[in-house]
Chains A and B, each alone.
Chain A
Amino acid sequence: MATKHSRAAARLMISPAVLLLLGWMIVPLAMTLYFSFQRYNLLMPGMEEWIGLANYQYFLTDPAFFDALINTLLLVGGVLVITIIGGIFLALLLDQPFFGQGVVRILVIAPFFVMPTVSSLVWKNMFLNPVNGLFAHAAKALGLQPYDFFAQAPLASIIGIVSWQWLPFATLILLTALQSLDQEQLEAAEMDGAGPLSRFFYIMVPHLARAITVVILIQTIFLLSVFAEILVTTNGGPGTSSTNLTYLIYAQSLLQFDVGGGSAGGVVAIVLANIVAIFLMRMIGKNLEA
């Protein structure tokens, strides 16, 4: 169907985007790669020298590296699980007929529009703060000891904040998918005596699979580089208990101004991100073809 002529035209139409992204990827990547083999600290100009793999050696043997890796996975995984399960629940709820559907939908999607910096500041200070936060007030009113979120469960608190921001996104996509579900199929199943649970698992879940993969893909892209939430709330601590890879690289390159070490970290993160990407793409590719 596609002629040679239209193929050439198509290539021409794609090329600006490809070239730009290629440039965007290659130029900083080349510079990062180059710096990663250098001793290069912004605070010590004139001391730059080629030091081979030493930056990589230091980054990979940093005790914080392993923690950061685990935290990154926990953060991405935790948020995905919460937003998908919560999203399905909310989508099912919003799909029911009730008064004021439009308004409730507006309320539910609102967190998506809030800047990460703002939502972290608000959550940290006005809700989770163990002395003046609203949760602490509530705990005291119930006669309980206020829970110290960022000290006792720093990573879980961050997962909570990030989930709050991404829940609307998952909900919207899942809701749209749900609304396209064939009602007759559902009713037929009901007539055949399928209970609500089996209807959910045998009809709805398979129907939502595609939407769920999309949620996973898009959110993973953004969740791998969660940064503002950590910077504002815990600074990666206490210890390294809420440091993810992005934050670790930040600490290296911008707190210590060690461009060489930070670049090595950047290269490691890029490699890891690509492993995740390949894994994801396989999964998505399969699901999207169907």
Chain B
Amino acid sequence: MNMKLRALMGACALGALSTTAFAETTITVATVNNGDMIRMQGLMEDFNKKHPDIKVQWVTLEENVLRQRVTQDIATKGGQFDVMTIGTYEVPIWGQRGWLADLNDLPASYDANDILPAIRNGLTIEGKLYAAPFYGESSMVMYRTDLMKAAGLDMPAAPTWDFIKQAAEKMTDKSKEQYGICLRGKAGWGENMAFLTAMSNSYGARWFDEKWKPQFDTAAWKATLTDYLDMMNKFGPPGASANGFNENLALFQSGKCGMWIDATVAASFVTNPKDSKVADKVGFALAPDKGLGKRGNWLWAWNLGIPAGSKKVEAAKTFVEWATSKDYLSLVASKEGWANVPPGTRTSLYENPEYAKVPFAKMTLESINAADPTHPTVDPVPYVGVQFVAIPEFQGLGTAVGQQFSAALAGQITADKALENAQALTVREMTKAGYIK
């Protein structure tokens, strides 16, 4: 009897809950399965408390699948998502087409001018902000201080590629499964090509000349690819042609890499003792250069954008404002510590003395500031974007070229053949798309 009564009361309480919840708006947020986003899903209590009338549904997908799903949805006006997580590559292209709702009317307390200029410029078209950055990143060298010391070397704050190669050689001990250098090898414009394009910038190479003529037949590209292959074949881990960001992170965390040149966000993962075996032995340096004036680092941000056609723009804006606000940064800091705050978006974060104590804070900011998406290369180019070319065709092109370079890394074709194929397929696609007449 007692049980029944309790069940009844429970049911009433549920009923009451659902009536109060009647007026709420449900928004669907598509996001990528990266650590910072997963962390946000765990902190939703704060948002729900502040905005009980908005219910957030998550669709978390792996990067490539996410990109395909949201692009398809926004281009066909499918309307399945109210907030989309998109990269700096998409924002300018989508913004120009009027697909995104502009965010200029966010309240003054949001302080949009606080967003790092390098990041903000990439998200603004003709004075309109089209997406709010959730975290920003560049790339840098992460290395094992203990192994570097054992090799008798001293990492400069701004190393050259020659030094990296020399260090990789000395740090490699394959019998102990210790590989001097881990780099991306998995094919994809956002995987190996992000790294290789950034590296090629520092070697003086470029994707296209001012007349959109592909440049893979130049000496600079050849030098880039041969040096990359040489380092990876001699000092890299086995199976590198299948390694992307996540695979390399796992390798580095389990202590198998001497150096790893990759996204600055990785710094918080490799220094987190919960997941990383080497948390207290990691040092950071700027991405290498070749003495030509450009460094091999990229610039990227994951941003929250709102499709222009969404019927719930207001609720979506409320969410975007919360997720990218200064308060959210403090919220993460209070729950998880400053090291786990989404980095690379706000000037105020880097001015915060608490955050300055985080070992990788300074290097991250310097790396971000060292990247210039509008002048990415040594020689002039007709495009914007450091590790990508901001034209719609690039996703397909970058991935196809990435396949060739990945095949070269797997030893299936030579570097020359890979470059020749890359040149041929790029010429073909650019002709098809009408850039080359």
Chain A residues packing against B (C-beta within 8 Å) = 41-45, 54, 58, 63-64, 129-132, 145-146, 148, 150-152, 234-241, 251-252, 254-258
Q: How large is the interface on B (under 10, 10 to 19, 20 to 34, 35 or more residues)?
A: 35 or more
A257, B251: Cβ atoms closer than 8 Å: no
State whether A255 and B395 are in contact (beta carbons under 8 Å apart), knowing that A131-B256, A151-B410, A152-B410 are contacts in the complex.
Answer: yes
Nearest neighbor of B94 in chain A, beta-carbon distance: A43
From residue A89, how far is it (CB to closest CB) to chain B in Å? 31
In the assembled complex, which residues on chain B have CB atoms less than 8 Å from the CB atom of A44? 392
> Which A residues touch B425, using CB under 8 A?
63
Bound together, the chains give a CA A215 to CA B80 distance in angstroms of 40
Q: Which residues of A contact B71 (CB under 8 A)?
A: 42-43, 257
CB atoms of A151 and B399 under 8 A apart: no
A132 engages B254 (CB within 8 Å):
yes
Contact, CB under 8 Å: B250 / A132: yes
What are 23 A-B residue pairs whose CB atoms fall within 8 Å in the complex?
A43-B75, A45-B97, A129-B239, A130-B239, A131-B251, A132-B250, A150-B242, A151-B242, A151-B409, A151-B411, A237-B406, A237-B407, A238-B407, A239-B407, A240-B407, A241-B412, A251-B396, A251-B400, A254-B72, A255-B399, A256-B395, A256-B397, A257-B71
A42 to B76, CA, bound (A): 7
Q: How far is the CA of A111 from the CA of B256 in the complex (A)?
A: 33
Given contacts A241-B407, A258-B396, contact A151 B239 (CB under 8 A): yes
- Beyond the given A148-B239, A237-B407, please list 15 additional residue pairs across the A-B interface where CB-CB is below 8 A: A54-B432, A146-B238, A151-B239, A151-B240, A151-B409, A152-B410, A237-B241, A237-B410, A238-B241, A238-B410, A238-B412, A252-B396, A257-B392, A257-B395, A257-B396
A165, chain B: closest CB distance, angstroms: 21
- Is B75 in contact with A45, judged by CB distance below 8 angstroms? yes
Given A44-B392, A255-B395, decide whether A151 and B241 contact each other with a Cβ distance below 8 A. yes
B184-201 vs A: 1/0 string, CB under 8 Å? 001110000000000000
Question: Please, what's the 1-or-0 string for B70-103, where 1 marks a CB less than 8 Å from any CB in chain A?
Answer: 0110011000000000000000010001000000
Which chain B positions have C-beta within 8 A of A240? Answer: 403, 407
> What CA separation (Å) do A232 and B192 show in the bound complex?
17
Chain A residues with CB under 8 Å of B68's CB are 254-255
> How many whole Å from B346's CB to the nearest CB in chain A?
30
User: How far apart sit A255 and B177, CA to CA, in the bound complex (Å)?
Assistant: 36
Residues in A with CB closer than 8 Å to B421 are: 63
Q: Is the CB of B187 within 8 A of A237?
A: yes
Q: Establish whether residues A257 and B75, one from each chain, have CB atoms under 8 Å apart when the complex forms.
A: yes
Question: A41 CA to B397 CA in the complex, in Å?
Answer: 14
B46 within 8 A of A: no
Within the complex, what minimum Cβ distance (angstroms) separates A263 from chain B? 14
Q: Is the CB of B256 within 8 A of A238?
A: no
Chain A residues with Cβ below 8 Å from B411 are 151
How far apart sit A156 and B349, CA to CA, in the bound complex (Å)? 50
- Are A238 and B403 neighbours in the complex by a CB distance under 8 Å? yes
A7 to B257: give the CA distance in the assembly, Å: 73
| Closest chain B residue to A149, Cβ basis | B239
The 4 closest A-B pairs by CB, nearest first: A256-B396, A239-B407, A130-B239, A43-B392
Cβ-based interface call for B393 (8 A): yes
CB distance from B196 to the nearest CB of A (A): 14
Cα–Cα distance between A150 and B409 once the two chains are bound (Å): 12
B237 at the interface (CB under 8 A from A): yes
Residue numbers in B under 8 Å from A43 (CB-CB): 71, 75, 93, 97, 392
Instruction: Please indicate the chain A residues that have their CB under 8 angstroms from the CB of B377 in the complex.
Output: none
| A272 CB, nearest partner CB in chain B, Å | 22
- Residue of B237, B396, B413 touching A239 (CB-CB under 8 A): B413
A45 to B411, alpha carbons, bound, how many Å? 40
Question: In the complex, how many angstroms separate the beta carbon of A258 from the nearest chain B beta carbon?
Answer: 7
A238 touches B75 (CB 8 A): no
Question: Which partner residue on chain B sits nearest A41 by CB separation?
Answer: B392
Assembled-state Cα–Cα distance A192/B344 (Å):
84
Residues of B within 8 A of A238 (CB): 187, 241, 403, 406-407, 409-410, 412
Identity of the chain B residue whose Cβ is nearest the Cβ of A234 in the assembled complex: B242
